[in-house]
Structure 1
Amino acid sequence: MLVLSKRDIRALYSMKDCLKDVEEAFRAHQEGKTVTPVRIALSAGTGEAATLYMPSFVEPARSMGIKIVSVFPDNPKRGRPAIQGITLLTDAENGEHLALMDATYLTVLRTGAISGVAAKYLARDDARVCALLGAGAQAIGQIQAVMEVRNLAEIRLWNRTREKAEHLAKTIRETRPDWTGTVAVFDRPEQTVRGADIILCATRSTQPLFDGRQIPPGTHVSAIGAYLPHMREVDAALLNRSSKVVVDTREGAMHEAGDLLIPMEAGEWQAEKLYGELGEIVAGNKPGRERPEEITVFKSVGVAFLDTAVAKSVYEKARRLNRGTAIDL
């Protein structure tokens, strides 16, 4: 078995790699070549802390995998990361456990890449202003992915704790010293999203972050932070004004996406209005953005076939570059 640390993965796998792998995995899913049970969210008993168990099979990768991610929001107060994860990769042809790898960094890349692929197909080609609400663990991946698919001129940041947003602004500058655009930190969500072409939501909010009635035509919104039925980042007004509401998978969204489930239960939005899955658009079965004035919404709660596809790609690259530590169990 090959053990791959976060340092190993950082050295060999980039956001560009991840965007390519995620897009191909969505296409494989649309072709019926993945099997992904609904993940198990096991509560730690108090607060929002939970551990997520996410198995899947990806036929083109000839692999099975399970990602285990612990989300403990109060951990930073204890000097520990809020998100910790590992992935076990298994050969689907002979059952050999190929690799055990850090999934914390990969989750940031994979989750960012989901929004990046969505923006590629749903945001306007001339989108230049991106607003990000939330400066937690997933934030940098969101920005990195969108910067790969759109030529951004301005990034706007908001977080409940302003210092975290300011730290993220510094990180963006450090990771992309070649980028000549501007980064600004705002005090309120409504200020941050005003005039934005792309809005990224990456929080654990249980209430809508902004008034969907104020979002102008042509905006693309990606909501990836709320991953449980009681969590919510966007309101029914935005859903009803959108030309296309797209999800990563229908099954996952209808099981866990509070952004959709809460307004459905209140009679404010209907599941029949769901446009489709991102994989349908990637595979060319449905069009993405068709008109500049469309408002588009992408909702993701995460899906394990992406993790398995990404893990297999990382494993193969590590083997080629002789990275990682081989162990016998």
Structure 2
Amino acid sequence: MLLLSREDISKVFTMRDAIEANKLAFQLLVDGKCNAPLRTNIQAPVHDGCFLFMPAYVEEMAAASLKIVNVFPHNIDQGLPALPAQVMLIDGTTGVVQSLMDGSYVTQIRTGAASGAAFDVLAKKECKVGALIGTGGQGAAQLEAMLEARKLEEVRICGLHYERTKAFTEQMGKEMAHYGVKLIPAASSDEAIEDADLIITATPAEKPVFDGKKIKKGATVSCIGSYQHHMQEMDPAILRRASKIYFDSEEAVLSEAGDILIPLEDGTITKEDFTGDLGKVIKGELTGRENDDEIIVFKSVGVATQDLVAAREIYDKAVKAGIGTVWNS
């Protein structure tokens, strides 16, 4: 079995690799080629956390995977990752575990890449300003995905605590200097989203974190933080203004995401307002953006197919490069 750390993975798997892997995963999903049951969610309410178990199997890839990802938002106060996780890659012909890899990093990069894939496919070609709301465990990868998808002049970053936001922005400025973008800490979400072409929200919020009436025409909005029914980081007003609403998986979103479930239940929107899954746009079976004035919303909760495709590509690249530690039980 090959053990792969965050450092090992980062040597062989880039954000661009992750974006392309996500595009493949979303196509496999809509083609029905991945057996990926809805994730098992075990609550740990005393810690405001939960344990998530996400299996997947693709016969034509001869591969299966299991990701264990635990969401404990208060870990950040202890200097621990808010999303500790592991991913197992399993040989689909023998059932033997081929690799155990840092699931926190796989989760970060593949979840960031979901926004990147959405922006690649749905955003205007010319975008100048980005906004990132949320500086926790997903912040860095979401920011990198945005910068990989479009050449931006500036990104405004807003977090729950302004001092932490400034520190995060300064650190990202160093790590992502090669993108040549100006990163600005914002004191409020209103300041962050003003005139933004690309907007990402990555928070565990239970109330909307931006004013949907202030999103400009032509913007593409990716909301990835709401993964339970009581969570709602997206302002429902943006759903009424949106020309199109896409998902990573409509089935998965409708099983758990308050961003969509709450507006459905109160009548703000109906299922007739949905456009469909991103995989169908990638395959050319569904219309994407039709003009530069459309407001487009992408809602993602994450599916195990993303983990499987990413893990398989990471493993293949690591083996080819001789990266990782071999462990024999």
TM-score, with normalisation over the residues of structure 1?
A: 0.97
Query: After the TM superposition, which of the residue ranges 54-63 and 285-294 deviates more from structure 2?
Result: 54-63
Per the alignment, residue 73 of structure 1 pairs with 73
> Contact between 1:30 and 1:283, CA under 8 Å: does it hold in 2?
no
- Secondary structure of the equivalent of 1:3? strand
Runs of 4+ in 1 over 4 A off after TM superposition: none
| RMSD, matched Cα | 1.2
- Secondary structure of the equivalent of 2:56? strand
Question: What amino acid is the match of 2:190?
Answer: E
- Secondary structure of the equivalent of 1:46? helix
> Contact between 1:130 and 1:196, CA under 8 Å: does it hold in 2?
yes
Q: Answer yes or no: is 1:132 the counterpart of 2:161.
A: no
TM-superposed CA distance for 1:23, in Å, is: 1.0
TM-superposed CA distance for 1:124, in Å, is: 0.8
- Secondary structure of the equivalent of 1:83? coil
TM-superposed CA distance for 1:302, in Å, is: 0.7
Once the two structures are superposed, residues 117-155 of structure 1 have per-residue CA deviations (whole angstroms, 9 ceiling, x without a partner) of 000111111111000001111011111111111010010
- Secondary structure of the equivalent of 1:287? coil
Once the two structures are superposed, residues 207-262 of structure 1 have per-residue CA deviations (whole angstroms, 9 ceiling, x without a partner) of 11122122221111000011111101112211011011101101111001100000
Please give the residue correspondences for 1:252-263 in structure 2 after superposition, counting only pairs within 5 Å: 252-263=252-263
What CA distance in whole angstroms lies between the structure 1 residues aligned with 2:82 and 2:234?
23
Per the alignment, residue 106 of structure 1 pairs with 106
Per the alignment, residue 38 of structure 1 pairs with 38
What CA distance in whole angstroms lies between the structure 1 residues aligned with 2:71 and 2:234?
22
> Contact between 2:36 and 2:305, CA under 8 Å: does it hold in 1?
yes
TM-superposed CA distance for 1:183, in Å, is: 1.3
Per the alignment, residue 265 of structure 1 pairs with 265
- Secondary structure of the equivalent of 2:21? helix
Question: What amino acid is the match of 2:140?
Answer: I
Please give the residue correspondences for 1:157-306 in structure 2 after superposition, counting only pairs within 5 Å: 157-306=157-306
- Secondary structure of the equivalent of 1:121? helix
Gaps of 5+ in 1: none
Question: What amino acid is the match of 2:265?
Answer: E
TM-aligned CA distance change 1:139 to 1:60, over 3 Å = farther
TM-superposed CA distance for 1:161, in Å, is: 0.7
What CA distance in whole angstroms lies between the structure 2 residues aligned with 1:283 and 1:59?
20
TM-score, with normalisation over the residues of structure 2?
A: 0.97
TM-superposed CA distance for 1:47, in Å, is: 4.5
> Contact between 2:147 and 2:179, CA under 8 Å: does it hold in 1?
no
Gaps of 5+ in 2: none
- Secondary structure of the equivalent of 1:178? helix
Per the alignment, residue 151 of structure 2 pairs with 151
Per the alignment, residue 307 of structure 2 pairs with 307
Q: Answer yes or no: is 1:63 the counterpart of 2:48.
A: no
TM-aligned CA distance change 1:154 to 1:205, over 3 Å = same
Structure 1 vs Structure 2: percent identity of aligned residues?
37
Per the alignment, residue 50 of structure 2 pairs with 50
TM-superposed CA distance for 1:16, in Å, is: 1.4
Q: Answer yes or no: is 1:27 the counterpart of 2:38.
A: no
